[in-house]
Amino acid sequence: MPFSISKDTVSNQTTHVATAPASQRPDPVETKLEQEQGRPRLSSRDVVHAYVALTKPRIIELLLITTLPVMFLASHGLPKLGLAIATMVGGLFAAASANVFNCVIDVDIDQKMRRTRRRPLPRHQVPRRSALIYGIILEIIATIILGFGANWLSAGLALIANLFYVFVYSMLLKRRTWQNTIWGGIAGCFPPLIGWTAVTGSVRWEPLVLFFIVFWWTPPHTWALSFRYREDYEAAGVPMLPVVRDAPEVTIQILIYTVMTVAISLVLWPVAHMGWIYVVVAVASGAVFIVEAAQLLRRANAGLRDALLKPMGLFHWSNTYLSLLFLAIAVDPLIHL
Q: Do 159 and 288 belong together in one domain?
A: no
What pLDDT is recorded for position 61? 81
Final residue belonging to a domain, choices 200, 225, 256: 200
What pLDDT is recorded for position 337? 58
Q: Over 50: is that where the pLDDT of 241 sits?
A: yes
Per-residue pLDDT tens for 59-80? 888 778 899 999 999 999 999 9
Q: How far apart are CA 188 and CA 172, in angstroms?
A: 16
What pLDDT is recorded for position 99? 93
Q: How far apart are CA 85 and CA 66, in angstroms?
A: 15
The answer to whether residues 226 and 242 touch, using CB atoms and an 8 Å cutoff, is: yes
CA torsion angle for 152, 267, 277, 316 (degrees, to 10)?
80
> For 38-47, 129-138, 238-247, which range has the lowest pLDDT when averaged over its residues?
38-47
What pLDDT is recorded for position 161? 94
Overall average pLDDT of the 45-64 stretch:
85
Final residue belonging to a domain, choices 200, 226, 249: 200
Q: Is 23 among the domain residues?
A: no
What pLDDT is recorded for position 62? 78
Q: How far apart are CA 68 and CA 277, in angstroms?
A: 18
Q: Do 213 and 330 belong together in one domain?
A: yes
Residue 170 burial class via C-beta count within 10 angstroms: exposed 0-12, middle 13-18, buried 19 and up? buried
Q: Is 179 among the domain residues?
A: yes
Q: Do 190 and 70 belong together in one domain?
A: yes
Q: Do 212 and 270 belong together in one domain?
A: yes
> For 26-35, 154-163, 197-206, which range has the lowest pLDDT when averaged over its residues?
26-35
pLDDT band of residue 16 (cuts 50, 70, 90) is very low
Q: Do 161 and 185 belong together in one domain?
A: yes
Task: Report the CATH number at residue 149.
Answer: 1.10.357.140
Q: Fill in the amino acid letter for 183.
A: W
pLDDT band of residue 231 (cuts 50, 70, 90) is confident
- Average pLDDT over the chain reads 86
Q: Over 90: is that where the pLDDT of 251 sits?
A: yes
Overall average pLDDT of the 235-256 stretch:
93
**pTM attached to this predicted model:** 0.83
DSSP character string of 275-335 = -HHHHHHHHHHHHHHHHHHHHHHHHHHTT--GGGG-HHHHHHHHHHHHHHHHHHHHHHHHH
Based on the structure, what is the number of domains in the chain?
A: 2
Q: Do 195 and 212 belong together in one domain?
A: no
Cα–Cα nearest to 138, from 64, 51, 201: 51
Q: Do 80 and 195 belong together in one domain?
A: yes
Give me the percent of the chain exceeding a pLDDT of 90.
64
- Helices (DSSP H) in the chain: which residue ranges? 7-19, 28-38, 44-54, 57-65, 68-75, 81-105, 107-112, 128-149, 152-163, 180-184, 190-200, 205-228, 230-236, 241-244, 247-271, 276-301, 311-335
Domain that holds residue 334: 204-337
Q: Do 191 and 224 belong together in one domain?
A: no
Q: Do 148 and 55 belong together in one domain?
A: yes
Q: Is 228 among the domain residues?
A: yes
Final residue belonging to a domain, choices 200, 228, 253: 200
Residues 6+ apart with CB under 8 A from 196: 70, 71, 73, 74, 203, 204, 206, 207, 210
What pLDDT is recorded for position 336? 67
